[in-house]
A and B are shown apart, each in its own frame.
Chain A
Amino acid sequence: MSDEGDDRSEHELRVSKIHNGTVIDHINGGQALNVLAILGIDGSQGEEISVGMNVPSDRLARKDIVKVEGRELSQDEVDVLSLIAPDATINIVREYDVVEKHRVERPEVVVGVLSCPNDGCISTGDEPVDSRFEVVDDGVRCSYCGTIVREGIASLIEH
């Protein structure tokens, strides 16, 4: 059961149920747009997307919620969200019913999502490579130059 239970009526005022697709719930308040950026979803492809931000939540004081109609996100796609939304839950919806529900897991590597903050790093230039970070204990580490980032990971998201 999600904790949508108690505040369901609140939600439904703001964000309607989806028919088929993915609901990403329990996103840390204020991170919904970063979640969309990581997933590469900007609405330009005509996707139907609903975003709730800073919604009251039992588990998190305030949470964001993102609903993507018509697209089932894979575990690999969503695991990268653990970097900025470690408590996020993923609900796969078919015919208005949640058919799968799972948590995000920390991936071992994150490719093409974050740009290295080190100006001296080869991955920040014109070379034909994707950025690549290994996920370490308390942050991420550039596979090329070794720079470790612990805070402000969201600011490194490639847009």
Chain B
Amino acid sequence: MRHDHVITSKHLSRADVETVLDRAAEIAADPSAVADRHAGALLGLLFFEPSTRTKLSFETAMKRLGGDVVDMGSVESSSVTKGETLADTVRVIEGYTDALVLRHPKEGAATMASEFVDVPLLNAGDGAGQHPTQTLLDLYTIRENAGLDDLTIGIMGDLKYGRTVHSLAYALSNFDTRQHFISPESLQLPREVVYDLHQQQGGRTGIREHQRLEAVLGDLDVLYVTRIQRERFPDESEYRKVAGEYQIDRETLEAASDDLTVMHPLPRVDEIAPEVDDTEYAAYFEQAHNGVPVRMALLDLLLSEDGGGSDE
């Protein structure tokens, strides 16, 4: 793997993905082997939007590698409120740390920020754009549960604004997959993303769009559910009507294959009923836990190759 920054899953080749997942599997099998590997290294956490899983799993990953984190804290308590640009903020914090993690509400924020820093910068979500480290843990979970080749996956929910969806779709195009996208019409994949997927996959486009889960549920190896957010709809009743059609429970899953794996980037609200949690289908908590070894692997790879001080 030869990347100074991790900005978008579009830039991840199959080989890159496999390098990270293989390393994550090694780390998961024997975490103690890397417990001191990056002692003294510091990771800067720049979260301009709320985060629980992503932020805590990066912090956990860095500490389990023997390193530590410095955290900008909330936007309200930082100099952002004084009008500092993102370009200035990252240039300051890079001087304190060995790598940066950035989440920001604006699309393209990580791309822009990476132009101003030399330490590795990891995109932890930029608006409705990309979330590549989530994608890597998603791919890890898929590989563990269903395998990444000859895979039929359904991705359901808010496909328009869901950055985890966009990132995942790009990365899956490196593998032999059939991708079914299931959403209300108003929340379909952005045309930009469809354009890219067609470009990436050339003539053998393996993507299909649907409005009903029933159309494909029986064929799926993996069902990746995302949250439909209240604020995407003009009023509460419209939201309830639409969101209700994209919720799953035990009854929904009766039509699924016994081997189906159900995933969700979390947090969920009511799109997966709690009664599914105890079934063989549910992999979403395992998925969240995989965030630690996968981010450990990613940090290890980036910090190791950068160890001597990259000039790029």
Q: In the complex, what residues of A have CB within 8 A of residue B109's CB? A: 122
Q: Does B38 contact A (CB under 8 A)?
A: no
Q: Which of A7-15, A69-77, A104-112, A140-148 contacts B (4 or more CB under 8 A)?
A: A140-148
Q: Does A46 contact B (CB under 8 A)?
A: no
Q: Is the CB of A144 within 8 A of B107?
A: yes
Q: Which of A18-26, A58-66, A84-92, A126-134 contacts B (4 or more CB under 8 A)?
A: A126-134
Within 8 A of B (CB), among A107-159: 118, 120-123, 125-129, 141-148
Q: Knowing A127-B85, A127-B87 touch, does A145 contact B115 (C-beta < 8 A)?
A: no
Q: How many residues of B contact A (CB 8 A)?
A: 21
Q: Does B111 contact A (CB under 8 A)?
A: yes
Q: Is the CB of A120 within 8 A of B127?
A: yes
Q: In the complex, what residues of B have CB within 8 A of residue A125's CB? A: 106
In angstroms, how far is the closest chain A Cβ from the Cβ of B15? 24
Within 8 A of A (CB), among B83-138: 83, 85-87, 104-109, 111-112, 115, 126-129
- Chief secondary structure at chain B's binding surface: mixed
Residue of A nearest to B10 (CB): A146
Q: How far is the CA of A120 from the CA of B129 in the complex (A)?
A: 10
Q: How far is the CA of A125 from the CA of B105 in the complex (A)?
A: 12
Q: Is the CB of B107 within 8 A of A120?
A: yes
Q: In the complex, what residues of B have CB within 8 A of residue A146's CB? A: 107-108, 129, 192, 196
Q: How far is the CA of A122 from the CA of B116 in the complex (A)?
A: 14
Q: Is the CB of B195 within 8 A of A122?
A: no
Q: Does B191 contact A (CB under 8 A)?
A: yes
Q: Is the CB of B106 within 8 A of A147?
A: no
Q: How far is the CA of A126 from the CA of B83 in the complex (A)?
A: 9
Q: Is the CB of A129 within 8 A of B115?
A: yes
Q: Is the CB of A142 within 8 A of B108?
A: yes
Q: How far is the CA of A13 from the CA of B298 in the complex (A)?
A: 69
In angstroms, how far is the closest chain B Cβ from the Cβ of A152? 15
26 sampled A-B residue pairs with Cβ under 8 A: A120-B128, A121-B107, A121-B108, A122-B104, A122-B106, A122-B111, A122-B112, A122-B126, A123-B108, A123-B112, A125-B106, A126-B83, A126-B85, A127-B85, A127-B87, A128-B87, A129-B87, A141-B192, A142-B108, A143-B111, A144-B108, A145-B107, A145-B127, A146-B108, A146-B129, A148-B192
Binding site for A on B (CB under 8 A): 83, 85-87, 104-109, 111-112, 115, 126-129, 191-192, 195-196
